[in-house]
Amino acid sequence: MRKVTVCSCSTPFDQFSKKTHCWKCGDVFCERCIDKNIPLPGQDSGRPVPVCRTCFRLVQKISP
């Protein structure tokens, strides 16, 4: 497992910025960069889960 210390937006992870993983791609982001929630196809619960902006756009394209 790799240790992620900085978000892709260059925000460092510390006691003030929480790490959150995208439920689709698994990458780690800060709370500002993972501000979308959407139900994922194939997920049993059907409840919206946190996803990154890239995955949010991908899921929206393939959703009916």
4: which residues sit within 8 A by CB, 6+ positions away? 13, 19, 28
Please report the pLDDT score of residue 64 as a whole number. 62
User: Model's pTM, two decimal places?
Assistant: 0.81
Strand boundaries in the chain, DSSP class E = 19-21, 28-30, 36-38, 49-51
**C-alpha span between 59 and 7 (Å, rounded):** 22
Domains, the chain, ranges and CATH? 1-64 (3.30.40.10)
User: Binning pLDDT at 50, 70 and 90, where does residue 49 land?
Assistant: very high
**C-alpha span between 24 and 38 (Å, rounded):** 10
Q: 3-state DSSP call for residue 28?
A: strand
pLDDT digits (tens, 9 = 90+) for 2-37: 688 999 999 999 988 889 999 999 999 999 999 999
Please report the pLDDT score of residue 1 as a whole number. 52
Please report the pLDDT score of residue 18 as a whole number. 86
